Amino acid sequence: MPRHEFQPGKLIAGLFLTAAGALYLGDALGSWELPWFTVIPVVTAGLFLAGAAGTATYAIRRRQRPHVSDSRAR
């Protein structure tokens, strides 16, 4: 199986969306009472943090990547 590169932005987004699902599941099962708008800040914060992590990861990998010069000699 080929290895893939670690993408922390997707991990963060997945964790926050899973947390939002768990909040709704707890509300549906009657464990707690949740206002309908409670999940909006959770999802918004998760997407914001995922975007920040993705941007930081891109910047770090771009800086660490060796500079590729034109391989054709003229």
Domain ranges of the chain: 8-62
Report pTM. Answer: 0.78
Q: In the chain, count of helices (H) and strands (E)?
A: 2, 0
- Is 62's pLDDT higher than 60? yes
30: its two tokens: 């009657």
- Is 23's pLDDT higher than 60? yes
d(CA 57, CA 24): 31
- Contact at 8 Å (CB) between 16 and 42? yes
